[in-house]
Chains A and B, each alone.
Chain A
């Protein structure tokens, strides 16, 4: 069962890699006057902050919800969690400038751990 889950994850992470490229192309076409480096940084940030943490958090429902639905709802789930946790971490004294590095990592790890336990 665990191997099966890892196989699905491997396959889906390839989809996410492909989606990253698709997003990059979409952003390139849509913001055609923008420098490619800026576009790359933004798309990479969107994936790092929202898409990847969301994907891993939603892995728990892998068997019940298909990839498209998990990917979309995962993005919003990550946005909600990052918004909430960032607010309270800031109040607790951790400067916001560190949150972009720490929070997605924590959510990704939490998603993996929860899924492993399951």
Chain B
């Protein structure tokens, strides 16, 4: 009996259920960005919104880059394009489709790894697949909840490179390899380095075992040309922006800015099977070359934080459950092989299901890592979403917005949903003013923006400048760190806060502004928006209370 296909359907359903459905309250479309837990999730979502609105990604949406209208679209954007196209095709809101694509990419990663292992041994592949449930264990889940979506998509294509290499003997396989390398370059450039590195490592393996030949060189060269053509423009921008702002320097880093980091010990008891798998795999290296080399290679990549790769080492760890699945399956298979061959297929199926039940915590067992159940609407709520929508649709495109204190505004990419150039008060200055019982006109402020690539713009043909390097507060006001709020066109106040006194202070300022001629243009239960009718004038009186 062929149990493979029903098994794949069950695993696919389980991954979909545990990964995205539970987080999303078992719905596909929502009234507002749902399950967005950190600033970077909004960074991805608002960039996609900007690309959709423009109809292309020639330029970065201006509200992501301090209001500059000429910044070249610099971010690797495959996930954004896929989200947008799925949005247009399905009619589901873009904030849902782009998030869905991140989950689908991860699930597809598991299945591509499955077919890669299956090329060598179907039963090991079936035993390997359930480990992917740990994509949704607490530390891997961070990748989705905190917005590492582009990296996840990139890693899908990285695994496709592993698959292509395992199928390199096929006629025209170089075309597939070239497309996957190109797609990787346009998805997340740092993984491109890992993809190219893997091919290099595999070539050394071939050399070592005297299997290296001209055919391999020819195929890889053609793949390189295809991917070079596909990614030339993106890599050119990357080298003139990201690479200048973030040059490589050696450092040992064990910190991901407070983000929990996946460690090998997080596999707990499963490490026993994985170790058996590593030893068996190593002994059978010639037979299982690609999955073994890929697994060990990605283990090594996960530790490049010790040679200066920092965050770029921690992101691949998010998919360790996929990269190491071969070792896990191999470890289990070493035990299953003891069962008479007549019962082996059903044993593999049963063991796979049992592993799924264990890892999804339906059968709790101590010291086994499990799926992390989370179901939350996240940082956004219907009231803020309504306010952001109003701002994006009812204010002039050139309007400048000033956000007073809001509980969720420290995750500042959320503010880009206003689709306008914006600044916000620095909470510490706001708290100090409240403690001093004063109403001020000038606040220490920040203009949130994406600084990762230096805001590249085209100076002339093949000549790219960086606003971040060339400009300052004297040449462009939005580089300032302290603002007279009266220069802004609209003020946004939260009427509700976890600390009521902060919301009360917001309302006090808003009332003072109303007395000075500002006009209430929007209000719901949580947010109030004022239009400044005296831009550059006296929109508020400084006083004590």
B-contacting residues of A (Cβ < 8 Å)? 22, 26-27, 29-34, 38-39, 41-42, 44-46, 48-49, 60-61, 64-65, 68-69, 72-73, 75-77, 79-84, 86-87, 90-91, 93-97, 99-100, 103
In the complex the two chains form, what is the Cα distance from A38 to B93 in whole Å?
11
Which of B156, B170, B182 is in CB contact (< 8 Å) with A64? B170
- Contact, CB under 8 Å: A68 / B170: no
- Contact, CB under 8 Å: A69 / B25: no
Residue of A nearest to B84 (CB): A96
Which of A26, A65, A76 is in CB contact (< 8 Å) with B160? A76
In the complex the two chains form, what is the Cα distance from A61 to B108 in whole Å?
20
Cβ-based interface call for B55 (8 A) = yes
Which of A68, A86, A91, A93 is in CB contact (< 8 Å) with B4? A68
- Contact, CB under 8 Å: B9 / A22: yes
Interface residues of B in 474-503 (CB under 8 A from A): none
- Contact, CB under 8 Å: B13 / A30: yes
- Contact, CB under 8 Å: A91 / B92: no
- Contact, CB under 8 Å: A84 / B90: no
Cβ-based interface call for B29 (8 A) = yes
Asked if A33 meets B16 with Cβ closer than 8 Å, knowing A41-B92, A84-B182, the reply is no
Which of B12, B17, B29, B85 is in CB contact (< 8 Å) with A96? B85
Interface residues of B in 1-48 (CB under 8 A from A): 4-5, 8-9, 12-13, 16-17, 21, 24-29
Cβ-based interface call for B118 (8 A) = yes
- Contact, CB under 8 Å: B160 / A96: no
Asked if A76 meets B16 with Cβ closer than 8 Å, knowing A33-B27, A49-B89, the reply is no
Nearest-Cβ distance from residue B89 to partner chain A, whole angstroms? 4
Which of B21, B77, B90, B118 is in CB contact (< 8 Å) with A69? B118
B residues within 8 A CB of A93?
A: 56
- Contact, CB under 8 Å: A72 / B108: yes
Cβ-based interface call for B144 (8 A) = no
- Contact, CB under 8 Å: A103 / B78: no
Nearest-Cβ distance from residue A43 to partner chain B, whole angstroms? 9
- Known pairs A49-B86, A69-B119; list 10 more (Cβ under 8 Å): A29-B17, A30-B16, A31-B21, A34-B27, A79-B108, A80-B160, A80-B182, A87-B81, A90-B58, A91-B58
In the complex the two chains form, what is the Cα distance from A94 to B163 in whole Å?
33
Q: Kindly state the interface size class of chain B when it binds its partner.
A: 35 or more
Nearest-Cβ distance from residue A105 to partner chain B, whole angstroms? 12
Chain A: interface secondary structure? helix
B residues within 8 A CB of A86?
A: 81-82, 84-85
In the complex the two chains form, what is the Cα distance from A84 to B52 in whole Å?
16
- Contact, CB under 8 Å: A30 / B26: yes
Residue of B nearest to A43 (CB): B90
A residues within 8 A CB of B13?
A: 26, 29-30
A residues within 8 A CB of B235?
A: none
Cβ-based interface call for B179 (8 A) = yes
Asked if A83 meets B27 with Cβ closer than 8 Å, knowing A31-B21, A73-B112, the reply is no
Interface residues of B in 152-187 (CB under 8 A from A): 156-157, 160, 163, 167, 170-172, 176, 179-180, 182-183, 186-187
Cβ-based interface call for B230 (8 A) = yes
B residues within 8 A CB of A69?
A: 115, 118-119
B residues within 8 A CB of A29?
A: 13, 17
Nearest-Cβ distance from residue A109 to partner chain B, whole angstroms? 17
Residue of A nearest to B115 (CB): A69
In the assembled complex, 22 residue pairs joining A and B whose CB atoms fall closer than 8 Å, in A order, are: A26-B12, A33-B26, A34-B27, A34-B28, A34-B29, A38-B91, A38-B92, A42-B90, A42-B100, A45-B86, A49-B86, A69-B115, A69-B119, A72-B111, A76-B157, A80-B157, A81-B179, A83-B77, A87-B78, A87-B81, A90-B58, A90-B81
